[in-house]
Structure 1
């Protein structure tokens, strides 16, 4: 079997990264610089790394983040009640294995969404399936899904996420459909998966926003008692950005 046939067969087996490296090694006459075991390991490691990188890229795309937020770019110099040690512990993602939640509250512009998405990005890098969503848009989508019969399918998709991020939670009072949907999501994920909730509204006011005492109690009991809490304070970070611009 000649080299071209080998490369084509590697491609046919969807081992394109291995095929490309093998081609380059042949072209540069570097194959003989390795033992057989070393060369096999080189090709295998290259294919493995390529697949892992592709998986991460796919997870980042599917997460549907609204901005690229990373742990490395978090600003700890601002006075906004963000404990660096605590947040970096969360970034280890141990809360996922413990099935714990995170609640991030604070006024508009203090960086709540960025922090949540940075944790979500970290999750993708560690190959955890993550979904970022605006709460109001998600609830509208679920309301429509009840009409076309895909509601349970949509709930199943949300349950598969290792990290589910609700952004702008509670900006609007919940109607019956919204309450039931939130209850279904939280109940499905309780003690199974981790949820991050981002809100301008303090947790103490969530009971009234959710409405209907029994459901509100059930939702809050499942979310709050198993959550790490971050309450950001201070002025909007966007103000400083506008001034710099």
Structure 2
């Protein structure tokens, strides 16, 4: 079997990266110093790395992040009340292994969304599934899902997500549909998967925003008691630079 046939068969088996490297190797007349075992290992590693990279890119796309954020660019500042060591520990994603949550609060522009999405980006890089969502839009979507019969399917999707990021939590008061949907989300994920909530509203005011004492108690009990809490301070980071919070 000649090299062209080998390359074609590799492509048909969806080993594209391996086929491309072998094709380049043939074009360059190979390397006389490499053994057959070393060459096979080289091809295999190249295909493996390509597959992992494509998986990560797919996870990042599916997450639906609103902005590009990563841990390396996080600015730690005492004025922001962001402890470097604490956030570095969160960046290891051990909180996800323990099924814990994170609550990020602070005024508009203090970087809550960026920190949440930086952790989400890291989760994708570690091959975890993440979803980023504006809370109000997600709850409206779930309301429509009840109408078209896809509500349980959408809840199952959220449950199977390793890290759910709910941004701008509490900017709108909850109606009955929103309360029930939020209760379903939090109850399904409790002790099973991690959730990050970012909000301009202090946690002390969430009870009134959610409304209906029984459901509010149940939601907050599941969220707050299992959460790492970061309350960001300082001036808006948007000054002079137009960025999403």
**Do the two structures share a fold, i.e. TM-score over 0.5?**
yes
Spell out the pairing of 1:39-188 with structure 2 (5 A cutoff): 39-77=39-77, 79-188=79-188
Structure 2 CA distance for aligned equivalents of residues 31 and 219 of structure 1: 63
State the TM-score, normalizing by the size of structure 2: 0.97
Structure 2 CA distance for aligned equivalents of residues 240 and 73 of structure 1: 18
Query: Secondary structure of the residue that 1:32 maps to in structure 2?
Result: coil
Query: Secondary structure of the residue that 2:79 maps to in structure 1?
Result: coil
The answer for the alignment partner of 1:38 in structure 2 is 38
Query: Secondary structure of the residue that 1:165 maps to in structure 2?
Result: strand
Query: Secondary structure of the residue that 2:104 maps to in structure 1?
Result: strand
1:26-71 deviation line (CA, Å, top 9, x unaligned): 1112243311110110000000000000000000000000000011
**Runs of 5+ unmatched residues, structure 2:** none
Query: Secondary structure of the residue that 2:80 maps to in structure 1?
Result: coil
Structure 1 CA distance for aligned equivalents of residues 84 and 30 of structure 2: 47
Of 27-36 and 58-67, the range deviating more from structure 2: 27-36
Query: Secondary structure of the residue that 2:197 maps to in structure 1?
Result: strand
State the TM-score, normalizing by the size of structure 1: 0.97
The answer for the alignment partner of 1:15 in structure 2 is 15
Query: Secondary structure of the residue that 1:109 maps to in structure 2?
Result: coil
Structure 2 CA distance for aligned equivalents of residues 215 and 236 of structure 1: 33
Structure 2 CA distance for aligned equivalents of residues 12 and 117 of structure 1: 37
Query: Secondary structure of the residue that 2:5 maps to in structure 1?
Result: helix
The alignment of Structure 1 onto Structure 2 pairs a total of residues equal to 242
RMSD: 1.0
Query: Secondary structure of the residue that 1:192 maps to in structure 2?
Result: coil
1:45-99 deviation line (CA, Å, top 9, x unaligned): 0000000000000000000000000111111146210001100110000011100
